[in-house]
Homo-oligomer: A and B are copies of this chain.
């Protein structure tokens, strides 16, 4: 058993899960949060973060490994596909996979509480709320903490300190000031506002429950995720500036016309949509990238190391996978945390960069392409290829969501498949062969097999200089 003294900043999803993992390994864990205990305050903290989240395979695996999934499952609502809403309110359903593959809508607060309650049962874990990290000294692993309730500061020391304190991490803020620390924060031109569809009179869901609802509108979109209480949380992703935008929609009349034109079927489901629109300012969406993740005996993890935009539903799943992989590497790597954590950051950075880009790409797909007939045909062809060779051809969405291959592998394989699909879509005989029973075999022989051959050739060529070099 390990016997380190570990401080974790951030009692959110990743911080608490990391605490559970590290305590299970035998370490003494302090978890600090700058806010009060959300189980006592009763309201979700207003931090511009979404109310619910899509939990999928990578997150589930990490929860299962620590024994937390059993509890989480009870309050999760399965979503088996995308339900598209066109401007006239017509619906079409696109299942996520041929075998009922699902992702799960969970409440951020409920999930956080579940993990915190579990942590409370472990005597090696102690929570400290209302403590803000003002400064972290990487030479001494001493943190200066501000008591945000009582005032006054104290110095905290641990063997290792983790920053699991989110996109605007205070641990990372101390790292950014150190020499040779690469850092970027990049905002997209869209922000978001949330709306609530309340449950029906008998607590029923007023749209199809088991789907992620999407209103794709080209340069912007609305989505909705079901909650266990019969409500839906809708999120409008919309440009800050331009026409139309949060800036251009100024009056109650503007909002009414906007919904009437783009979201007609939501008007009866959200009767007070105008009030809800004006109830909040739009929140921004950022991608954070930094390296290294480790300074001295301190490390950032989760959003603090690699916040991404939400369009692949992978922010939390990726953070949970960070924790699972870190723990796995500690299992294999022995007791020298410095070596293991250093290796972890190099291995994992490639994959978090990949999901950051995939998440940006998926926004374009969700808001724009899914309403395009040629894109839908392409997706159908891809689904047929997947059924034809389910182990070899896996759509990118499935590689990310229903698989645990490294994100960077999903990105590479997805790019390769997309290049093949580009060719297939340009095939002059496509309409004729589409109806043939052996369509998949024809495509495989004509496009996929040659692409594999090319891969082999490249691999061979890359071998040659190595051989010569010997």
Chain A positions within 8 Å of B, measured between CB atoms, are: 176, 179-187, 240, 284
Contacts and interface: CB of A to CB of B under 8 A. Distances in A.
18 contacts: A176-B185, A179-B187, A179-B284, A180-B187, A180-B240, A180-B284, A181-B185, A181-B187, A182-B184, A182-B185, A182-B186, A182-B187, A183-B183, A183-B184, A183-B185, A184-B184, A184-B185, A184-B186
Contacts of A187: 179-182
Contacts of A184: 182-186
A153 B320 CA distance: 44
Contacts of A182: 184-187
Contacts of A179: 187, 284
- What are the nearest 5 A-B pairs in CB distance? A184-B184, A180-B187, A180-B284, A182-B186, A183-B185
Contacts of A240: 180
Nearest to A179: B284
A184 B287 CA distance: 11
A144 to B, nearest CB: 17
Nearest to A281: B179
Contacts of A183: 183-185
Contacts of A185: 176, 181-184
A94 B246 CA distance: 57
A176 B186 CA distance: 11
A242 to B, nearest CB: 14
A183 B182 CA distance: 11
Contacts of A186: 182, 184
A240 to B, nearest CB: 7
Contacts of A181: 185, 187
A284 B186 CA distance: 23
Contacts of A180: 187, 240, 284
A180 B240 CA distance: 10
Given A176-B185, A179-B284, A180-B187, 10 more contacts: A179-B187, A180-B284, A181-B187, A182-B184, A182-B185, A182-B186, A182-B187, A183-B184, A183-B185, A184-B186
Contacts of A176: 185
A44 to B, nearest CB: 20
A185 B180 CA distance: 9
Nearest to A183: B185
A391 to B, nearest CB: 40
A238 to B, nearest CB: 14
Nearest to A185: B183
A300 to B, nearest CB: 16
A97 B181 CA distance: 39
Counting chain B CB atoms within 10 Å of each CB, the highest count among A176, A180, A181, A187 belongs to A180
Nearest to A184: B184
Contacts of A284: 179-180
A2 B240 CA distance: 34
A176 B179 CA distance: 18
A343 B180 CA distance: 33
A272 to B, nearest CB: 27
A284 B180 CA distance: 7
A181 B184 CA distance: 10
A294 to B, nearest CB: 15
A421 B176 CA distance: 42
A424 to B, nearest CB: 27
Nearest to A191: B180
A240 B181 CA distance: 13
Nearest to A283: B179
A382 B187 CA distance: 41
Nearest to A188: B180
A180 B176 CA distance: 18
A442 to B, nearest CB: 35
A63 B180 CA distance: 33
A240 B179 CA distance: 12
A284 B181 CA distance: 10
